[in-house]
Amino acid sequence: MDALNHIAGADRAAQDNTWIDSIDPATGAAIARYAPGDTEMAEEAAAAASRAFFDTTWSSDARLREGILRRFADRLEARSDELVALLSLENGKLKHEAKGELISAISEARFYAGVARVPHGRSSEVIPGGLSILSREAAGVAAIIVPWNAPVTLLVRSLAPALAAGCTVVIKPANQTALINRAILDALLADPEIPKGVINIVNERGTEVGQALVASSNVHVISFTGSSRTGKAIMVAAAPTMKRLSLELGGKSPAIVFPDADLERAVAELTFGALSVAGQFCMCASRFLVHRDVQNELKRRLAERFAALRVGPASNAESQMGPVIDEANRQRLLGLIRGAHQDGELIVSGRPLEGNGSFLTPTLVSVDNPGSHLVQDELFGPIITFETFASEEEALRKAHATVYGLAASVHTSNLERGHRMARRLRFGTVWLNCHRRQFAEAEVGGFGESGLGRLHGVEGLSDFMETKHTFLQHS
């Protein structure tokens, strides 16, 4: 299938009839094509979304929105085999990873279908004869800028609350995953009750579409998932129009292991937390912080697990980790591996696999200097650092040694210690004795340079809503 743009209820090819191939990262072969948009198309889509917001009953009809989201989830479920196959093909995810991502997206859509009909306002007689009415209203047009690493879940976790709140949307897929995003959105656009202009899609070949949406006066909310560097640029570009911003940005998530942890379980959780989706996830366990009393044992076990991991395509049922997204990212990561000896000791050194796919085996590097770029930078791939600590205070100090505060995990059999650490860790999510668990019902977001706002849960609506105060003096 080819992925066209979609504006005001109509599919649109590129202005110059250009088509760009979407590439399978496991083989390097073209799968299908997408039609890139441009600045003019982005503004046209924003204007169409604005008309749908102001000229239809979409924002005021909660029951309509609930039904559309519920049927959207049903269509995704009915097409799950097809969508899982396409996600694996275009993104490189293993089949079980792709299936888990689709299940999460369906859960998001169903959760927000229910939330759409929950009244959010309140009223009170603040003075005798004076009634204050606080209403929660849709913010307007939301531009959703979707990343490539989890293009289904990260699309729907912004799209579903935006629609539940009553916003209309312009969606900008990542160029690496335009096909799966269009396939997901086709399940929404198939609903005959959705007004034209509520859902608009503009594909991207570079950065001009995203920049145009951030600058547009017709856009009231930007929901972006991606790097902190790009998030900061969005904040600057959005300042002239004072847009609302929902930003889930970079992470450098520590997994902290105490000596009383169940080491077998910890090794399994750390490996899963670090190497799912080939380490290309903002909440991945990218730093292992291990108590000195168990450092040698854990280092040995992790090295064995990393070295034995079977890297391969989703088409091979025995594969345990898929490729990185493309060759450019593989070369970037290989450069980091080649220079890693300058910052620490390579426990397991990653290597490229032969063939056309962008496969890279995992790397584990022992680092003593918290200022190392391997510790400070979000590497976004299967390169994990191993650091040690001797006390809770040192663990906290090292965990907080970066500008990020997205997620962390604590592994200990002492739940009192686990909760004590969770209270003191300045991260938006803290897992105890596990890593990388997310739910539609539970909010996530970052401290520090990991972002603004929260996604998932009831609070996920907040970024897409405004509060209005109406006062009635009735006596």
Task: Give residue-wise pLDDT tens across range 235-246.
Answer: 999 999 999 999
Q: Would you place residue 475 in the very low, low, confident or very high pLDDT band (cuts 50, 70, 90)?
A: confident
pLDDT tens for 211-238 read: 999 999 999 999 999 999 999 999 999 9
Work out the pLDDT band at 472, boundaries 50, 70, 90.
Answer: very high
For 27, counting Cβ atoms within 10 Å of its Cβ (0-12 exposed, 13-18 middle, 19+ buried), the class is middle
3-state secondary structure the chain: CCECEEECCEEECCCCCCCEEEECCCCCCEEEEECCCCHHHHHHHHHHHHHHHHHCCHHHCHHHHHHHHHHHHHHHHHCHHHHHHHHHHHHCCCHHHHHHHHHHHHHHHHHHHHHCCCCCCEEEEEECCEEEEEEEEECCEEEEECCCCCCCHHHHHHHHHHHHHCCEEEEECCHHHHHHHHHHHHHHHCCCCCCCCCEEECCCCCCHHHHHHHHCCCCCEEEEECCHHHHHHHHHHHHHHCCEEEEECCCCEEEEECCCCCHHHHHHHHHHHHHHHHHCCCCCEEEEEEEHHHHHHHHHHHHHHHHHCCECCCCCCCCCECCCCCHHHHHHHHHHHHHHHHCEEEEECCCECCCCCCCECCEEEEECCCCCHHHHCCCCCCEEEEEEECCHHHHHHHHCCCCEECEEEEECCCHHHHHHHHHHCCCCEEEECCCCCCCCCCCECCEECCEECCECCHHHHHHHEEEEEEEEECC
Question: Phi, psi at residue 146, to the nearest 5°?
Answer: -100, 135
Give the integer Cα–Cα distance in Å for 15 and 120.
42
The mean predicted confidence, pLDDT, of the chain is: 98
**pLDDT of 20-32, one tens digit each?**
999 999 999 999 9
pTM for this predicted structure:
0.97
Structure confidence at residue 266 as a pLDDT band (50, 70, 90): very high
Q: What are the pLDDT digits (tens) for 154-212?
A: 999 999 999 999 999 999 999 999 999 999 999 999 999 999 999 999 999 999 999 99
Query: What's the pLDDT band for 323 if we cut at 50, 70, 90?
Result: very high
pLDDT number for residue 414: 98
The one catalytic residue among 90, 108, 248, 378: 248
Is the pLDDT score of 315 beyond 90?
yes
Q: Is the pLDDT of residue 364 over 90?
A: yes
The pLDDT > 70 percentage for the chain reads 100
Residues 250 and 406: beta-carbon distance below 8 Å:
yes
What are residue 285's DSSP bridge partners? 253
| Average pLDDT of the residues in 240-255 | 98
Fold topology of 253-439: Aldehyde Dehydrogenase; Chain A, domain 2 (3.40.309)
Position 1 pLDDT exceeds 90 = no
Structural fold of domain 5-249+450-473: Aldehyde Dehydrogenase; Chain A, domain 1 (3.40.605)
Residue 347, pLDDT score: 97
417-442 residue pLDDT tens: 999 999 999 999 999 999 999 999 99
Sequence spans of domains, the chain: 5-249+450-473, 253-439
What is the token pair recorded at 332?
A: 């970037």
Question: Could you confirm whether 248 is annotated as catalytic?
Answer: yes
- pLDDT at position 24: 98
pLDDT at 119 (0 to 100): 85
User: So what's the pLDDT on residue 257?
Assistant: 99
Predicted confidence at residue 21, as pLDDT, reads 98
Residue 352 pLDDT: 98
Placement of tokens 């600590």 in the chain = 389
How far apart (Å, rounded) are the C-alpha atoms in residues 284 and 437?
10
Q: What local confidence, expressed as pLDDT, does residue 101 receive?
A: 98
pLDDT of residue 244: 97
Q: What is the mean pLDDT of residues 50-76?
A: 99
**pLDDT surpasses 90 at 120:** no
